Structure 1
Amino acid sequence: MTMQQRTEPSPAAVLIAVAVLALVLTVAFGPFGFVIGLALFALMFVGTKHNHASEPITPVRTRSRLRRLSTAGRVDIVGESHHQDAIAEVARHTTRIDGAVPATAVLLPESARAVRIDLLRGDGSAVTAGYLRGEQAAGYQPLLNELAERGEAGSCPARITGGGQRQYNVHLHLGPPRLLRLDHEVLGTTPTLPADQQVTITDEEAHQHVLHRVVEGRTPAHVIAELKDCCISEGPHTGEHTLEVLLEGERIGQLSYAMARRYYERVQDWRSRTGRALCEAVITNEGTRGLHAKLLLPK
């Protein structure tokens, strides 16, 4: 993963230096010198306002392993207006889904209350898109600092909206500060479906051994599941298409016929665009009823 690093002169220092030069010219040449100094001051002021667009970006190569964070929420970032060119570069190379450009965001702690949001590009490098708000950054700092000490960085799905005549904006599918388990390398940066609401699944009773192996006695467990096509094998809807739910490649259940009708085509479309149909899931212990999983899927 490549992060960008800039070295910028202080705008205040530049303006002070030009102001001093303008004063010297005024003393030396009178009104004519004052006009020259004023023109220089105006030019340098405009230059400092647009300096970020012309300065080269020096990439810094890191080997941070991306760890997926909970997606059960939506967070708007701030500061996008200062990074419009970088966001546009990511947006123009990705197809929109439901009116927004999907991307992968990386959360990088910069100080005690600052968390920078970078967006991954197709070549694996990253560009800065903005920052978390102060109170949200403070909540995520402990987890992100812990990851950084291990050479890791938190990531989550992002959506880019706007463009054209409008400003680009970025929001994150980001929940409370927690990691998703089963975050192994094979998942790569494939995005997960938007986590808007919980959806129950069926047939978990026959797959309790898989659920117990995954949670290792700790519930609730937040994991990444995969949805694949299958057919209903019994009941009044035998032979109809549905979606089975997999954890680490092993089946733990399937969507009901009603839920399959609602999500089947949407999941197919998502898979065709992203390569896989991944979603967040929560495994809970229901006591005598055993372990149960609920998927977090779009509305």
Structure 2
Amino acid sequence: MKLEFLLCGSPNDGFFSQMAFFRLCLDRLGGPEAAARLVCVFGDHSVEEIPARWQPYFEGIEVHWAHAAGADNPHHVLQHNMRFDLVDPGADVSFLCDADVAVLAPVSQLAQSLIDNPALAGTIGHYHFPREGLDKDPARDWPQIARAALGRDIPRPYRYTLMPPETPPAAPFYINFGVFAGPPEYLAQFHERDLQIRPKVAAILDDWWAPQVSLSLTCAELGLPVRALPMRYNYPNDPKADALYPDEMAQIALLHYLRPQQFKREQVFAEANVFDAFLKKPLSGSNAIFQRFVADVTGGRYPFPV
């Protein structure tokens, strides 16, 4: 099985450390994960080089630069776009991930299911997106934006994942880009059309949320098969998720450590003192699971010494 993971970010210690840790996670698992191609795309840069401090930890990571040094890059969009251009057509399954995702367990079972029954896959978003000056209202927002961008409404069969269980379905296939997976040919079809739809969405919403919302509209317009994944494949370190999904928490495969209440994602692997404090901190739920995993992967020692 040929897997690949494509990440993006800005060239700073936070992103360098997260990407280096992602490689450690893959290597620890062995099998298809350890053999997987890991691509990191950087934008917002003035120099096209990995600092000497991080170079030893970027062996086994393929690095690309999304634009000319010093060029304008509003909302970091060029590195996001370039990941799609770098998808290997020969891969079986490609995973586009945020840098603050850790691979805790093999994803080969998920990958095999996407080979056997091809689809674009991701975990449904936690909440409805905001619109400036308006209350959150999916029953208003999705039809308005879909009709403006596509000329028609789209089905909304999914429930936002961190809303109370009794909340009725209100979302289309709406995921954040924490984890977005599928066969390369489907990702290529998606990206070509998404680049055309996204500006229409940005004109209604804003440039920050447009890629996430446009993903839903593009998949619906193309009629591409989609699959809403269980929380274990993009599990947030969030007490609300822990309360709502205890069974999923017990089998996390991809953990998205995006919540900053217990530790700072941009510091935990970038600074030895922050790393040491993280391992000693009393934690619970998914944060404790992540803490134990990090201790196991690193042997309890800061993994990226200068």
Larger radius of gyration: 1
User: Higher relative CO (CA 8 A, sep ≥ 6), structure 1 or 2?
Assistant: 2
Whose helix proportion is higher, 1 or 2?
2
Specify the TM-score bucket, using the shorter chain as the normaliser: under 0.3
Give the structure-2-normalised TM-score: 0.26
